[in-house]
Homo-oligomer: A and B are copies of this chain.
Amino acid sequence: MDLDRAARCGYPEVAFGEGKTGEQIAAVFAAQREAGQRCFATRVSDEARATLAARFPSAVVNDAARTVRLGEAGGEVGFVPVVTAGTTDRPVAEEALETLRWMGVRTALIADVGVAGPHRLPERLPELAGADAAVVVAGMEGALPSVVGGHLPCPVVAVPTSVGYGANFGGLAALLGMLNSCAANVVAVNIDAGFKGGYVAGLIARGPTFPTE
């Protein structure tokens, strides 16, 4: 484990829960608590979430996001809304939201404003005002980040999801769409990478000084 990461990078190490048991993640959390650090685990299995909930009663478990976090951020700074195209993009968006909460960044969910319902996003634009960065989560053709990017002056972190079928190729269509965005303020992360999308947007919102608990 890398306990110096908080000092070096501004935030403690995050446990990537894929393939790990609840006991393994619990050991990481225990060591981090010992060191006075906030804890966060992503892609945590159902079984491991149950184990962690039992071991750490104050842990915040998010079943949609498949995350567990522990320790209060102590106040919020900045503002990063998380925008989704459709209901099936929700789990990835929740992972981004939990990441931002763990970082102590104020956030909001603007859900289901995909481009096929063109009246939906304009109605919600006031809720995006003042954003330091936005996370936009979309599958299928991945068009929403371009549209959001056209409305906002801040960076937009686009997160493609594997939602779709056929020529979607597991999110590749959405990823290529985002990389080719005609909006100059759109950057992309890997498919289904809700954590990385939230993390980079959170870094932008917090700015160069990093409170490390």
Residues of A contacting B: mostly: loop
Answer whether residue A39 sits at the interface, using C-beta atoms and an 8 A cutoff.
no
Q: How far is the CA of A147 from the CA of B146 in the complex (A)?
A: 11
A118 B151 Cβ-Cβ under 8 A: yes
The listed residue (B115, B166, B167, B171) touching A143 by CB distance below 8 A is B115
Answer whether residue A110 sits at the interface, using C-beta atoms and an 8 A cutoff.
no
Query: Do A175 and B165 contact each other (CB < 8 Å), given the known contacts A88-B18, A184-B195?
Result: no
B149 A183 Cβ-Cβ under 8 A: no
Among the 9-residue stretches A44-52, A53-61, A69-77, A200-208, the one with 4 or more Cβ atoms under 8 Å from chain B is: A200-208
Q: Which residues of B contact A193 (CB under 8 A)?
A: 166
Closest to A164 in B: B180
Answer whether residue A31 sits at the interface, using C-beta atoms and an 8 A cutoff.
no
A22 to chain B, nearest CB (A): 16
B184 A179 Cβ-Cβ under 8 A: no
Q: Which residues of B contact A200 (CB under 8 A)?
A: 155, 184-187
Query: Do A185 and B199 contact each other (CB < 8 Å), given the known contacts A116-B150, A151-B118, A180-B190?
Result: yes
A132 to chain B, nearest CB (A): 6
User: What are 24 sample pairs from A and B whose C-beta atoms fall under 8 A apart?
Assistant: A5-B117, A18-B165, A19-B88, A115-B143, A115-B147, A115-B150, A132-B207, A132-B208, A141-B177, A141-B182, A143-B143, A143-B146, A153-B208, A166-B175, A166-B180, A166-B190, A167-B175, A167-B179, A168-B180, A176-B176, A184-B195, A185-B203, A187-B188, A188-B189
Show the binding face of A for B, using Cβ within 8 Å.
Answer: 2, 5, 8-10, 14, 18-19, 85-86, 88, 114-118, 130, 132-133, 140-143, 146-147, 149-155, 157, 160, 162, 164-193, 195-196, 199-200, 203-204, 207-208, 210
